[in-house]
Amino acid sequence: MSNEFDIGPLTWVKDEIDKSLNTVLDSLKKLSDNITETSHLRLAQTHAYQASGALDMVGLEGCKRFCSELEHCFSKLEKHEIICTPALIHQLIEAVEALKSYIEALMKGARDIPLRLYENLAPIVIAQGRELEKSELFFPDTSVPIPKDLPTLELSDEDYNKYISEQRVKYQKSFLNWLQTKQKESLDSMAEATLNVSQAQIRNVPKAMWWVASAFAESLLD
């Protein structure tokens, strides 16, 4: 599944995003020099919100989600709902720098795969007392039509039910194995099972839905 990103609209707001994220970085670095001076967090939160709005305008939903989590963390730190530690501030700085690098890569033609931001965002979410699932950073473009050459299996009702049942068992076994071992082969099997279900669909809507599901399994390999 293609994640090609049209950089045209991003070029219009890139300067605004850069200024906002640079202000966030500057505020965090000042905070790292004196972690008791939490007033810097208010400015960081404001500019993270501004960056989030600009990213939303150009359809970068994963980046928007990233900024939203930064905002939430800044707010909780300012309200002393979570402890402000040098380690957390360092993680926040690394997260903002990772987001800036991600956006720069998009400008150079990289594919928009927000899952690449997971390793930087997960610690920020965990610091707030929650867990971040990789699926929360999966934002497929469902407006993209499915490939015209995607095959369709012609099955009787009886054969269809049997086939779908077989794919469900295959997926469930592979998913359980992946949770336990994190082996690439398990993800390959999950992607294959969902793609098989897609090919068994006649109508476009369920066909597209299962095709997207197979793309998600494939994206976990990145």
Where along the chain do its domains lie?
A: 7-137, 157-219
For residues 9-27, give the mean pLDDT.
94
Q: Find out whether 157 and 206 touch, Cβ atoms under 8 Å.
A: no
Q: Where does the pLDDT of residue 15 fall: very low under 50, low under 70, confident under 90, or very high at 90 and above?
A: very high
* 86-107 and 61-78 helices, crossing angle to 10°: 160
| 7-137 CATH fold | Four Helix Bundle (Hemerythrin (Met), subunit A) (1.20.120)
- Between 139 and 191, where is the model more confident? 191
Average of pLDDT values for 101-122? 92
**Residue 146 DSSP label:** P
- 78 CB-near residues (< 8 Å, 6+ apart): 38, 41, 42, 45
**Tens of pLDDT, residues 46-85:** 999 999 999 999 889 899 999 999 999 999 999 999 999 9
Q: What is the pLDDT of residue 118?
A: 94
Residue 142: what pLDDT?
Answer: 56
Banded model confidence at residue 1, pLDDT cuts 50, 70, 90: very low
pTM over 0.75: no
